[in-house]
Structure 1
Amino acid sequence: MESLDDFDIQILKQLEKDGRMAYSAIAAELGVSNTMIHQRISRLTEQGILTGIKPVLDEKKLGYDWAAFTGLILEKDHDSNRIIEELKKIPEVTECYYITGTYTLYLKIIAKDHTHMRQVLYEKIDNIAGIAKTDSIMELGCAFKRNIIL
């Protein structure tokens, strides 16, 4: 994989500010051709550095006022791939990480209210075969969320 140069970093910074920014606007900002921007973005995508441009949704404005970080203890860690596939079917599970320590997997769950959160935890997650225990911490608000700063 080729390393990033200054133009690549500047392009990524522009896209971080506004993922809908036109290539021509990025080119004008950086003083290069539209073709160069198009080629660089294509290369960054092919290399897997830029994995897509998608909207960032404000979950609270969509009515999801509750969030939790939940650690999962599995009966058998080798079941993690099957369990992850089941978790992907639950729309309220928005993130899932492999971690070290007490838990095998760590989730972010969003819900509309405490009743909805209880339903997600007790009726959906707890019913997945192979999950021995869940341990949740309620989120009280996000101080900030960002990509890595280049």
Structure 2
Amino acid sequence: MKPGKQKVKIDGIDKKILRYLIQDARRPILEIARNIGISGAAIHQRLRKLEKSGLLVGSNFIIDPKVLGYTTMAYIGIFLDKAMSNPSAVKELEKIPEVLECHYTTGNWSILIKVLCKDNEHLMFLLNKKIQQIEGVSRTETFISLDQQINRQISI
């Protein structure tokens, strides 16, 4: 947990609301209210409280990248020449739209990123012409994901 983030206490009703919304974020508030047995206004108040606490962070539509032609997902471990290179390397990685996630890690790599590419050729271009060209990157190690078998949020 990042410094400054407070732990949030949620009760049984909050958990029920969250479970409904995790299943389908477009589910009508009044339907949730009927199922739980409280008013729609009470649901709205609780949702505002959860948003204000930082527990709920936005609501998003999920785009299926395969429909847009992005079929290669890979995880790339990045070795930096020195730890001081991290902030500037991350700034450069932020400029690459194919980079979906970036993690500062323990272990062999300094950084672990998740990328999405159209195909292996696109991945090779990304590695050779963009990522490995970043100042401070000494080498990379790439793992191609053959299939995402589990995709879920934390359970409430």
Give TM-score, length-normalised by structure 1.
0.93
> Structure 1 segments of 4 or more deviating over 6 A?
none
1:146 aligns with 2:148: no
Q: What value does the CA root-mean-square deviation take over the aligned residues?
A: 1.3
Give, in angstroms, the shift of residue 2 of structure 1: 4.1
1:115-142, Cα deviation, whole Å (9 max, x unpaired): 1111111111112111111100111010
Other-structure match for 2:78:
72
Question: Could you tell me which amino acid in structure 2 is paired with residue 119 of structure 1?
Answer: F
Question: Could you tell me which amino acid in structure 2 is paired with residue 79 of structure 1?
Answer: S
Q: Tell me, in whole angstroms, the C-alpha distance in 1 between the residues paired with 2:47 and 2:154.
A: 18
Which region of structure 1 is more displaced relative to structure 2, 53-62 or 132-141?
Answer: 53-62
1:26 aligns with 2:5: no
Q: How many residue pairs were aligned?
A: 150
Question: Could you tell me which amino acid in structure 1 is paired with residue 10 of structure 2?
Answer: L
Equivalences for residues 55-94 of structure 1 within 5 A? 55-94=61-100
Give, in angstroms, the shift of residue 6 of structure 1: 0.7
Other-structure match for 1:126:
132
Q: Tell me, in whole angstroms, the C-alpha distance in 1 between the residues paired with 2:19 and 2:41.
A: 18
1:87-127, Cα deviation, whole Å (9 max, x unpaired): 11111111111211001111111110111111111111112
Q: Extract unaligned runs of 5+ from structure 2.
A: 1-6
Give, in angstroms, the shift of residue 30 of structure 1: 1.3
Give, in angstroms, the shift of residue 68 of structure 1: 0.6
Secondary structure of 1:109 counterpart: strand
**CA contact under 8 A between 2:8 and 2:55: conserved in structure 1?**
no
Give, in angstroms, the shift of residue 143 of structure 1: 0.4
